Amino acid sequence: MKSKVVIFGALVLIPLLFGHAGCSQNSGDDTSFEITVSPTQLNGQSIAGQKIVFLVTIADEGGSSTSTVEISATAPGAEIAILNGSITQGEVAEIMVTPSAASTGGPIQLTVKGTRGTITDEECLTFPVIEGIDDRQEYAGELMEKFVEWLEVNHPELGIDENTEWSGTTVSPEWLVVSHYLFFSDEWEAHISWHVMIAPHDWGKLDLRHRFNETSPSHAFEISSLSGEVSPIAVEVPETIWR
């Protein structure tokens, strides 16, 4: 059994092209709102070519509204792609920021803006870009396949199986003792981490976030020793996403 784990590419960018598709329902609605972008800072730093996915939600103020808020973003020195860019309260937009090689050595400033009718709200954050390469993709893919094979049998309710297509990107590239990687399917975000240590301390972990309606993981699993071929077990779910 072999799941489809690939690097970030057409599998993700195709739905991203439709992030603003459809008819907006915000015409004439001036209900005020506040946007929240998470995380506000990274777990470490970033490198050129890394896909950094920020989550955006809104909270209506002074009453609820069924009209959408249109999400836009700018980040000089990086490419921007927005998925699910028209949201209401309880929904999640994703902003993918990819630093260019020319941005290495400096900060990227991301500005996120929400618009509904004549009402706007804006949030800004910055993150550093350092020199580095993604040298963990191959092992991360192998570890992801181990979890997918187990999930297909033991948690079929999640809908994750050998036919699920995943795209991946490095995260926290400068971390050494514990390595991290992110994978995305149409439905799930999967955060893989592993302890670069000898047995029995060579654990591997997976946490899952349901995209577009969750801002934090809802499931988590661990293999206590990767070299010992131990089966995964459910563990305490992290409170926040890893970036």
* pLDDT tens profile 68-102: 999 999 999 999 999 999 999 999 999 999 999 99
Measured in whole angstroms, the distance separating CA 220 from the mean position of its chain's CA atoms is 15
pLDDT digits (tens, 9 = 90+) for 175-192: 989 999 999 999 999 999
What is the mean pLDDT of the segment spanning 226-236? 93
In one-letter notation, the amino acid at residue 80 is: I
Buried b (16+ CB within 10 A) or exposed e, 77-103: bbeebbbbbbbbeeebbbbbbbbeeeb
The pTM of this model reads 0.89
Interatomic CA distance for residues 120 and 72, integer angstroms? 11
For the chain, give every domain's residue range.
13-130, 133-234
Identify the CATH class of 13-130: mainly beta
pLDDT digits (tens, 9 = 90+) for 5-63: 554 443 343 333 333 333 344 456 889 999 999 999 999 999 999 999 999 999 999 88
Q: What is the structure's pLDDT at 43?
A: 95
In one-letter notation, the amino acid at residue 19 is: G
